[in-house]
């Protein structure tokens, strides 16, 4: 037990010593002016590099991901149809589709699907 403790302590001491030595001898500046400027194929940018991102693109991407995952959840129901009763399968699948439709209706009423304002 003492050997394990000593080896852990020694590895911590060596690691801290190396970190301190490297930080003292490094010549790099954290806020280098050249690193902080935007880079566009070797030329100075003509406009601001921080263009505002349209939330519409983001919302459409999120909706796409949600429906993509929901389709993946819905696909195994075809295989389950062979192993279960038709009535139970129909009720489960139709409940799932009704929930999807209600979510789509909610997004539509909130104006998320409208492209122009």
What are the tens digits of pLDDT across the range 55-114? 778 878 888 888 888 888 888 888 888 888 888 888 888 888 898 889 888 888 887 777
User: Using CA atoms, how far apart are residues 27 and 35, in angstroms rounded to an integer?
Assistant: 15
pTM of the model: 0.46
- Whole-angstrom CA distances from 60 to 1, 56, 68 are 57, 6, 12
């Amino acid at each position: 037990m003492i050997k394990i403790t000593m080896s852990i302590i020694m590895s911590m001491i060596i690691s801290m010593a190396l970190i301190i030595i490297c930080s003292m001898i490094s010549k790099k500046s954290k806020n280098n002016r050249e690193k902080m400027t935007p880079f566009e194929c070797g030329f100075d940018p003509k406009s601001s590099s921080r263009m505002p991102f349209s939330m519409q693109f983001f919302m459409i991407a999120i909706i796409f991901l949600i429906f993509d995952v929901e389709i993946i959840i819905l696909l195994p129901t075809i295989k389950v149809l062979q192993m279960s009763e038709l009535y139970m399968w129909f009720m489960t699948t139709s409940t799932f589709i009704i929930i999807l439709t209600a979510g789509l209706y909610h997004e539509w009423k909130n104006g998320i699907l409208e492209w122009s304002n």
